[in-house]
A and B are shown apart, each in its own frame.
Chain A
Amino acid sequence: MNSGHRDRPLTGWDLNHTGRVNPFPPTAVAKIAEFDDDTVTVYTPTVREAVRVMDDYLAAPTAKTTRTSPGNVLAIVGDYGTGKTHLAVELLRHARNSAGDTTGTLYLDAPADTFVTLYRRFVQQLDAADVNRRVSEYYADVIADALSVSEFTSEVSRQLRAGELDPVEAVDRLSLMESRFLQQVQITLHRVTRNEAFGTALTLLLRRGFADAVWEWLAGHAPDQILMDRGIDAAINNETAALEAMGVFALLYGHRNHRFVVVIDELDKLLSVSSRPTEDAVVGFKKLLEVFAAARALLVLVGLPDYLDVLGIDVLQRIGRIIRVSALTSENTSEFISRTQQRTLGKATLEPFTPDTVNYLVKLTDGAPRKVVRLCHHLYRKATDEGTQVTESMVRQVARTQFDFASIDKVRGEVRRVLDAHGLSYFPDHQVGRDPYSLADYWIPVGDLDSGCAVLLTESVLDATDSEALTRRAMSIHNAVADAETVLVVVGYLPSGISMELSEAFRIEPIVYDHWIFGESLAAILTSRVRSIEEVISGDPLVVLHDRVERMNRQQSNTQRFIERLAIHVDDMRASSDHRLGVIQRGLDEITNALYSGGPAGSPSNLESSTGFSRLPAEVRGLFNEAMATLDALNRMDIALRDAFVGTEQEPSQAVDARMNLRATLYSPNLFHAMGVAILLQKLVEAFRNGVNDWYRSREPNPQGKIELSDRVRLDALCRAYEALFAFLPAFRLNDLEEFPAHPGGRDDQLGEVVRSTRLTNVQDVFSSLGVHVHKAVLKSFSIINDDD
């Protein structure tokens, strides 16, 4: 088993005298806003294939000159962290660089909702001016056709086709027969979009005074009366209409020589087994794929492999190509390291990595890009800290730190919740047989005590030693009990090679903890394991039935208890909101008083000193606000203390409970450490924020609006100072704040635990990368993209 000690998190800035920047991003989550022309993309076979599909699409001749479909649908699938989003965004960048003048691009993040929400995001991202231009082109062509037959108007016709003359202006200036052309455009757009309402609505964009009503309808709202008067009386508010509407725009863009590339990312949120779409939605989605293929549009669908399973064969047949992202090889990883350092440090080198450590890194991470990038950041940091090269043991050490992002205790709690929710009785820390290795973290008896299912929990399993220990435990349990099933939960990282070995020992693939789906996965596996044991041992079906009924009874009473706690929790949240509103109101009053009180001439105003961030640009201010918001443990302390006093007058029993609960918590020595760290961290961030604010105030003005070298040096020093101090803070102590309840439910506070655990996962990431992000945001506010000299 791995040791429980954790290293402190690594930071993004070097402490040594060279002042080297860490070229690798600390979090490897692709964000489209952070993608720029310098972002490194390693051309793996997957990437090359996808780019080839894009190039073929961009080079395809017009629909009039070819019989094949000018459009296409491309699916990119892969597991979490395998680089799907990065590939999709790279494709968009490639399209813009290759044919930006004639190609419209759009990136959509699929919501965990319906296609209606997806459509609304789609419309929000559409460039209204671009849509108007597409419609105008149809109008121009209609008018140009009518005027081309006469010598007198041939020049006007030419100007319209060439885009030198706006058709609406031409109609006005030349007193042309507007309504005839508008009616023709409407018929054309109806034919092109295959939708009468859209034909009418898009044509109205050509008439003054209708744009607002049309865009409001396109955005999914109920049609304005002026649209209803013209036959548009249904809102785009169901999945069929939403999907049809998206197809309309694909067809609209397929005019003249235009291209339209749409990426829908995280499609599994819309299409998955757990959020299975309606039949109408699937039919609508199939039609959307057909429309994109028929139009001059490329639809790129990105997501986990699940969504393909949901779609069905006839829908899959509409997908032109399915690309499964491939893992990074050692060559790819070396190229990534080298190019990233070239980009940031100006030197293409593998140092401090070596070919051997790159190989090991790839093997450990199975070449998953997100894990590779994240480990590169932390390994680079550690190696330059220590002035050494990256070694295999360093890789293992960092992997354990970075991938053990949830504590075993927290996961144990989640396991208990799943067992309770399904009415399964269990024994924690149960020795199944006489062999001490037959210890199960949870033993679920089935039938009589000789049969059952053992759940084992472990941290990252990174080498043969860890694997052998777990295998031995599994074998001991199987030897001790004939009809035993075993389930392994890995809270951390599990390389695929070791996973296969453990699958054999446990007779089922281990569950790697994932906060989002762990409950579901565990429940499904336990249910099937228990059932298979029942099938094996059942002599008397009535016994099995009796057990199941008992289980259902337990499930029902657990659910009832949960609902009661939920009601109490909601009451508490309401009370705490009142409290927070009061705090906010007092704060506002103070600021108002400070504004009106004034101060001695030449001295900083009270506002500036009290708020301290009045000079920070919005993006920089947002980073600090986000960091402060994650430290809500301190707020919970306020609430707990408040509860001990505020209920005294009205609900004495509640106040007593609050005091008792608070005292019980205060018995934990870890809490004092955790609160101390939280307060120190809060002070550190405030000081950092004030320092950056003072930097903005005191920097030398530059005529070109850029940063003077001396100011740049000061900024670098500011951010390094923050990182240097943060590095010495035992931020891992913040995990102990999980012990701090927010309501009398205490340790069994299931709802509170769910809420807290989500927040704490992000805390360390937010603070460890704060210096890097603030530095980048400050530079960006002066239009400097590259933060290297």
Chain B
Amino acid sequence: MNPYLVPGLEAGPEGPLCPFRRPEHERYYVPLDNTQQAFEQFQEQIGDLRGLRDEGRLIMVSGQRGCGKTALINRCATWLRDGLDNLGIQGMIFSLTQEGLENQPIQRRMNHVFQCVVDDLWQRELLSKEDHIRGLKERRDDLDLAYRYLSGVLDDDIVTIVLLPPSADLVREVEGYAKYARKHIVFFVESSFVDSMERSWPDICTASRVSPILLEVGPLRERDGWLFAQARQEHHPIADEMFPRVSEKTMQRVTDGWETSVGQLQALLFGVYRERSNRPGPEITVTSDEVTYADITSYHFRLTRNRAGHIP
């Protein structure tokens, strides 16, 4: 039994929390590495949600790999959708985070995203008129015109919430989406190339019709490691059952002195527990066993020696 296994993420334990697909994920969010502050910042800065029918918005989440960008975006998108719902506006989330390859040209990536949005709208029967489809096809070579047209043909009670594929170091791509965020369209974009995006943020702001929102997440701060482990251990659905625990002191030693991310910690602890659960032996109890610093370091060491390249 693994306290770091989140329901719904069995196939990919390192995957992000996604409350708009799995509502139960909402309670798995832990307020660490600035994610809570970022979420609150978003709630404040997005303002009156009704305004999204008149002006679109770009929200960029910036932070190193594994710091929880996608999880934050999913949380913000869920909150946005639910908030719009309460106002009688249909917030449609289009999750396209897996729809782009880093080594494709920007234009091709953006064309693909646009096509995915149109296809999804059509499949959800939100774009049923033939002339609208034709109009979008005619304009697809000029995305500025295409998004302008799209925002014009969408019903007034619809807001599309598009979760874009990570832009990595493609600053010009983010500038493009800033320009295309028109009425009824909200773009969420993420990038792990923090410095590049920070340097280009003024240009992104200039390209936007309405001030974009920048949310930043980062590596774990002091005690965040313990907060995370504690939350998982206590919030596990079967927390009463017996499984070895990791102590605050151990977590401090593991995370002390170097910058680590929540994703990294999640993968590490998940692996440690999985390895222990595969270990043959008598039933282990909370009082009789503990995940020690030695357990974690030896697992960590074995990770570096694994030639197959996957988590053992």
A contact residues vs B (CB 8 Å cutoff): 146-147, 149-153, 155-156, 159, 165, 169-170, 172-180, 182-183, 207-210, 213, 224-226, 229-230
Contacts and interface: CB of A to CB of B under 8 A. Distances in A.
A152 B268 CA distance: 12
A229 B101 CA distance: 14
Contacts of A209: 101-103
B65 A177 contact: yes
Interface in B14-54: 14
A756 to B, nearest CB: 53
A175 B253 contact: no
Contacts of B193: 179, 182-183
A177 B218 CA distance: 10
A152 B253 contact: yes
A361 B309 CA distance: 67
Given A151-B253, A152-B256, A169-B309, A176 B264 contact: yes
Nearest to B195: A183
A606 B99 CA distance: 58
Given A159-B304, A173-B306, A229-B105, A179 B257 contact: no
Nearest to A153: B258
Given A152-B297, A155-B297, A173-B311, 18 more contacts: A150-B257, A151-B253, A151-B257, A152-B300, A153-B258, A156-B304, A173-B306, A175-B267, A175-B268, A177-B64, A177-B67, A179-B65, A180-B64, A180-B194, A210-B102, A229-B170, A229-B173, A230-B169
A170 to B, nearest CB: 7
Nearest to A177: B64
Contact of B66 (A153, A165, A175): A175
Nearest to B293: A152
Nearest to A183: B195
16 contacts: A146-B258, A151-B257, A152-B256, A152-B297, A155-B297, A174-B300, A175-B261, A175-B264, A175-B268, A177-B65, A207-B103, A209-B103, A210-B103, A224-B105, A225-B105, A225-B106
A177 B309 contact: no
A229 B102 contact: no
A271 to B, nearest CB: 40
B304 A165 contact: yes
A269 B224 CA distance: 66
B306 A177 contact: no
B143 to A, nearest CB: 15
Nearest to B312: A173
B192 A178 contact: yes
B258 A149 contact: yes
A211 to B, nearest CB: 9
Contacts of B304: 155-156, 159, 165, 170, 173-174
Contacts of A230: 169-170
* Residue picked from B14, B261, B303, B304, most chain A C-beta under 10 Å: B304
A209 B105 CA distance: 12
Contacts of B195: 183
Contacts of A178: 65, 192
A732 to B, nearest CB: 63
Given A150-B257, A183-B196, A174 B65 contact: no
B166 to A, nearest CB: 10
A152 B259 CA distance: 11
Which A-B residue pairs are the 10 nearest by beta carbons?
A209-B103, A150-B257, A179-B192, A150-B258, A225-B105, A177-B64, A175-B264, A175-B267, A229-B106, A149-B257
A4 B105 CA distance: 71
A208 B168 CA distance: 13
Given A152-B297, A175-B267, A179-B64, A147 B258 contact: yes
B105 A226 contact: yes
B206 interface: no
Interface in B86-113: 101-107
A209 B301 CA distance: 29
A224 B67 CA distance: 31
Nearest to A152: B254
A200 to B, nearest CB: 9
A155 B303 contact: no
* Residue picked from A175, A207, A209, most chain B C-beta under 10 Å: A175
B279 to A, nearest CB: 21
A593 B166 CA distance: 60
A226 B173 CA distance: 12
A112 to B, nearest CB: 38
A147 B259 CA distance: 8
A173 to B, nearest CB: 5
A175 B266 CA distance: 10
Nearest to B191: A179
Contact of B309 (A147, A173, A208): A173
Contacts of B64: 177, 179-180
A209 B267 CA distance: 25
Contact of A179 (B101, B168, B254): B168
A213 B102 CA distance: 13
* Residue picked from B103, B196, B267, most chain A C-beta under 10 Å: B103
A213 B303 contact: no
A230 B104 CA distance: 11
B170 to A, nearest CB: 6
B244 interface: no
Contacts of A175: 14, 65-66, 261, 263-264, 267-268
Contacts of B263: 175
Contacts of A150: 256-258
Interface in B174-226: 192-196, 219
A215 to B, nearest CB: 13
B132 interface: no
B39 to A, nearest CB: 21
A363 to B, nearest CB: 66
B257 A152 contact: yes
Given A169-B309, A229-B170, A229-B172, A174 B264 contact: yes
A157 to B, nearest CB: 9
Contacts of B303: 173-174
A147 to B, nearest CB: 6
B194 A179 contact: yes
* Residue picked from A170, A182, A213, A224, most chain B C-beta under 10 Å: A182
Contacts of B106: 225, 229
Contact of B103 (A147, A173, A208): A208
Contacts of A155: 297, 301, 304
* Residue picked from A152, A155, A156, most chain B C-beta under 10 Å: A152
A183 B263 CA distance: 20
A173 B105 CA distance: 28
Contacts of A182: 193
B277 to A, nearest CB: 20
Contacts of A165: 304
Contacts of B306: 173
A637 to B, nearest CB: 58
A299 to B, nearest CB: 34
A213 B103 CA distance: 9
